[in-house]
Amino acid sequence: MSSDVTARTSADPVPGPRDPYPSGPAGDEPGFHDVSRETGPDPADALVDDTPIARAARQAVETMGRAAEGLPRPAETRVMVVANQKGGVGKTTSTVNLAAALAMHGARVLVVDLDPQGNASTALGIDHHASVPSIYDVLVEGKDLAEVVQPVVDVEGLFCAPATIDLAGAEIELVSLVARESRLQRAINAYEQPLDYILIDCPPSLGLLTVNALVAGREVVIPIQCEYYALEGLGQLLRNVELVRGHLNPHLHVSTILLTMYDARTRLASQVAQEVRDHFPAEVLNTSIPRSVRISEAPSYGQTVMTYDPGSTGALSYLEAAREIALRGIAAEAKGA
Ligand code: ADP
Ligand code: MG
């Protein structure tokens, strides 16, 4: 942990601008204000404990309080495909943490793990050894989704359709099956439990598994890691979205881009973030997800960071991102989008 630049310090839980000891030239970062919505110190703070820890604790309480208040729920189930054919950009991390945050806001949420690695299942503490009924059985054997969905123990209202290693063969097995692109869509349409959100965690490829997700979904969520090659390959993903929209699913659109592993201390990260915002002004969430050790530690405990360390910057920023997603959805509904 100590070799990691994001190793926790006493100032770590304080989101960017409230950090009194910034460790780099961070003040000019675009989106830097995003995690915390407040700028100047509250005059009342002069009367109370003003240490970074105390302020972080107050902010955590405030944010968790907002979570408990809940958020408006969508009129219809929002099926969101978390995709980017690059590996390691934060698809799985964003899927499970946004899902947990939305559920903590009072929504009913299903995570569909569509990656043979089963990382989303692991992070949600869901058993996914080879004999567990899984999304493979749904896609290849035609099993009902209801037969494989498991509740997530730690978070009320959160469910998971796990992936087992069998799914590694599905990409090839699907080729010879009827309606090979729309098997997930069929399963989701037949699922009768009331849900506010379905988040589909895609594998790092644009094969038939991802195509199944794009056919089943309405919205595409693209996590982008703020690093040098961030935009490479994005064109290919966007072309695939266009192809699926043109031929198989006219409702599909990229609704959300989430900047992940944002390190406010590097100029490169802020340049990449700015570039992405310039290209996709409407889609990029104001909130970006900082690089955080707590986020990367959580899966090894079978947890999301939302339960592993609810007061951490990582948890607070996912909560804020989830809030934006929920509110943008309501705004889009109002516009009839
Ligand atoms: P993908 O699903 O796109 O392959 P992951 O979500 O598995 O990417 O993330 C890749 C790695 O980066 C994982 O080890 C994860 O724990 C770590 N990671 C993701 N987001 C963050 C973050 N904000 N801060 C620190 N580590 C992160
Ligand atoms: Mg993944």
Domain ranges of the chain: 74-336
Separation between Cα atoms, residue 283 and residue 186, nearest integer Å: 28
What does each C-alpha distance from 305 to 56, 128, 182, 184, 300 come to in angstroms? Answer: 16, 20, 33, 28, 11
What atom of ligand 1 comes closest to residue 115's alpha carbon?
A: 2
Q: What is the pLDDT of residue 64?
A: 55
Ligand 1 contact via 119 beta carbon (within 6 Å): yes
Ligand 1 contact via 87 beta carbon (within 6 Å): yes
Ligand 1 contact via 95 beta carbon (within 6 Å): no
Separation between Cα atoms, residue 300 and residue 122, nearest integer Å: 8
Mutate to test the pocket of ligand 1, among 4, 34, 93 (most ligand atoms within 8 A of CB): 93
Ligand 1 contact via 92 beta carbon (within 6 Å): yes
Q: What is the pLDDT of residue 33?
A: 38
Q: What is the pLDDT of residue 25?
A: 36
What atom of ligand 1 comes closest to residue 86's alpha carbon?
A: 3
**Residue of minimum CA distance from atom 16 in ligand 1:** 296
Q: What is the pLDDT of residue 48?
A: 59
Regions of the chain with pLDDT less than 70:
1-49, 58-69, 337
Note the ligand closest to the C-alpha atom of 121: 2
Q: What is the pLDDT of residue 228?
A: 81
Q: Is the dihedral of CA 12, 17, 23, 29 positive or negative?
A: positive
What atom of ligand 1 comes closest to residue 84's alpha carbon?
A: 3
Q: What is the CATH number of domain 74-336?
A: 3.40.50.300
Q: What is the pLDDT of residue 180?
A: 96
Q: What is the pTM of this model?
A: 0.82
Ligand 1 contact via 83 beta carbon (within 6 Å): no
Q: What is the pLDDT of residue 58?
A: 66
Which residues surround the ion ligand 2 when the cut-off is CB under 5 Å? 91-92, 115, 119
Q: What is the pLDDT of residue 55?
A: 73
Q: What is the pLDDT of residue 282?
A: 96
What atom of ligand 1 comes closest to residue 260's alpha carbon?
A: 23
State CA 138 to chain mean position distance.
23
- 114 is written with which tokens? 């569509």
What atom of ligand 1 comes closest to residue 296's alpha carbon?
A: 16
Ligand 1 contact via 93 beta carbon (within 6 Å): yes
Q: What is the pLDDT of residue 62?
A: 61
Q: What is the pLDDT of residue 337?
A: 57
Q: What is the pLDDT of residue 231?
A: 84
Question: What burial letters (b/e) apply to 97-121, b meaning 16+ CB within 10 Å?
Answer: bbbbbbbbbbbbbbbbbbbbbbbbb
Picking from 69, 123, 66, the residue whose alpha carbon sits closest to that of residue 100 is 123
Q: What is the pLDDT of residue 50?
A: 73
Q: Outline where DSSP puts E strands in the chain.
A: 78-82, 109-113, 150-151, 158-161, 197-201, 219-225, 253-260
Residues 6+ apart with CB under 8 A from 45: 55
Ligand 1 contact via 88 beta carbon (within 6 Å): yes
Single-letter code of the amino acid located at 64: M
